[in-house]
Amino acid sequence: MTEKKYGIMTKALHSGWKCDPATGAFGLPIYASAAFQFRSAEHAVNLFNLDEDGYVYSRMSNPTVCAFEKGLNALEGGTGCLATSSGQAAFAHLITALCSSGDNFVVSRKIYGGTLTLLQNVFSRFGVKTILVDSDHPCQVEQAVNDDTRGIITETIGNPVMNVAPLEALSRIARRQGIPLIIDNTFATPALCRPIEWGANIVVYSTTKYISGNGNIIGGAIVDGGNFDWAEYPDKFPGLAKPDLSYHGAIFSEKFGNSALHAKLHASVVRDLGGCQSAFDAYLLHLSLATLALRMERHSSNALKWQNSLSSTLMSSGYVILDWKAIRIMIWRRYI
């Protein structure tokens, strides 16, 4: 029996939530609960030992938040998603999961300024270094990678310069070097680009922007591509490929396989750092997924109309359009 392949609009409408198991209601409830009831002592032990799926405390997992996470993960094609309180929280949790003092990341100098500030002004105080490169030139990226590098970070579409990352070339470099390619897909969203399909290993979001689309919440997300073998690099990624003492020596790469990063983020990192998504905000984000593809299509068509109109205006004034990238930079510097 062949598996049905749904389009992005169908996935957005139906992924993550079917109905309330208690009432059968189709609408996603806001589960405004800090904690959850255990069926028995054995059930509690299984949950705390990560031997059974379920809910313990909303800082680590909440049914409303889980519905949004599953929905976004389905659109991206990953193995799991963690929703966070902001895009900054998403990067902070991810960096914490992947590195220790003395490690570094190779980072595009054109990414969002808040991400650079987080890396250079906050994580630098804990011994995590940032090596800045122009990721539009993959040779610079590969030359910058060293034995202490724990990932390559760039954006699908740069904020605010609007450069487009050479994802396939960067993914080849990441595979050769044995490190994950981390892509901030905030500007593109899975409606326009799914970086995992182009070789990325981890996708990060500020869901505040286009995924929400309404300007009424702050949120972030990390999607685990499930395509990086953490077990192959235990010395680089001990948090994922060596025993975790807070879980009785469990090794996430052994216990969870290709979902190791997703499990680590939920069970350990957000448990300790606490940057979880609220149930109310997750409810609004889940609603927004249903219109994401339609909204991004309209954003794109409007932008194309604006570009064509500006081209006509400039050319009628005697200008020759040679480089739209230069024009975008000029407009950004002048008006933003």
Answer whether residue 312 shows pLDDT above 90.
no
Q: Does domain 8-289 have CATH number 3.40.640.10?
A: yes
- What is the pLDDT, as a whole number, of residue 96? 97
For 104-124, what is each residue's pLDDT tens digit? 999 999 999 999 999 999 999
Q: Where are the domains of the chain?
A: 8-289, 298-335
The chain-wide mean pLDDT, for the chain, equals 91
- What is the pLDDT, as a whole number, of residue 303? 82
- What is the pLDDT, as a whole number, of residue 333? 44
Mean pLDDT of 305-333: 60
CA 220 centroid distance within chain: 7
Mean pLDDT of 59-83: 96
Mean pLDDT of 274-284: 97
Mean pLDDT of 192-204: 97
Answer whether residue 192 shows pLDDT above 50.
yes
Mean pLDDT of 49-67: 95
User: Tell me, what DSSP letter sits at residue 232?
Assistant: G
3-state SS assignment for residue 177: helix
Find, among 292, 297, 298, 300, the residue nearest to 12 by Cα: 292
| Residue for token pair 């409408």 | 13
Residue 103's identity, in one-letter code, is D
The Cα 168–Cα 171 span in angstroms is: 5
Straight-line distance from the first to the last Cα atom of the chain, in angstroms, rounded to the nearest whole number: 54
282, 83 contact by CB (below 8 A): yes
The Cα 166–Cα 200 span in angstroms is: 11
216 C-beta neighbours (distance < 10 Å), count: 11
Model pTM?
A: 0.91
The Cα 208–Cα 194 span in angstroms is: 18
pLDDT cut 70: percent of the chain above it? 91
